[in-house]
Amino acid sequence: MLNRSIAVVVAMLLGTAAYAYQVTGPVLEVTDSKIVVEKGKEKWEITRDKDTKGDKNIKKGDKVTVQYNMTATEIENKTPAKKDDKKADAKKDDKKADAKKDDKKEEAKKDDKKADAKK
């Protein structure tokens, strides 16, 4: 915990965002769009682009440290709805059903009037 706190303080002092991370290890694969680094038994595949800073001549086998950020691209709420929310949704559904019934009644009245007008 202390090491993590020190790392955060150092990152803040250096002007690096608090959400910046790094991985160090040998390069397994490198392309214009990604770099794959081995850390222990894990393979870390990190996207890179034309704006990625650093040595552009990295090759397989080189030992590197990659600085990276994690940014959410989408967040989906998986929390089940509360009972109150379910009741509110049920009421909304009931109102929609009632509105549809009313619409059907209105259409039936119009049809009856048309039929009476034809007689």
71 closest CA partner among 42, 46, 39: 46
Residues of the chain with pLDDT under 50: 2-3, 7-10, 12-14
Q: Is 14 exposed, middle or buried (0-12, 13-18, 19+ CB in 10 A)?
A: exposed
Q: What is the pLDDT of residue 8?
A: 47
**Which pLDDT score, from 0 to 100, does residue 112 have?**
67
30 and 61 within one domain: yes
pLDDT at 106: 73
Quote the domain boundaries for residue 29. Answer: 21-69
- Per-residue model confidence (pLDDT) at position 40: 95
Residue 116 and residue 84 in one domain = yes
Question: What domain count does the chain have?
Answer: 2
Q: Is residue 8 part of a domain?
A: no
The model carries a pTM of: 0.51
Query: In the 3-class helix/strand/coil scheme, how is 42-68 assigned residue by residue?
Result: EEEEEECCCCCCCCCCCCCCCEEEEEE
Q: Supply the CATH number for residue 63's domain.
A: 2.30.30
| Residues 90 and 50 both lie in one domain | no
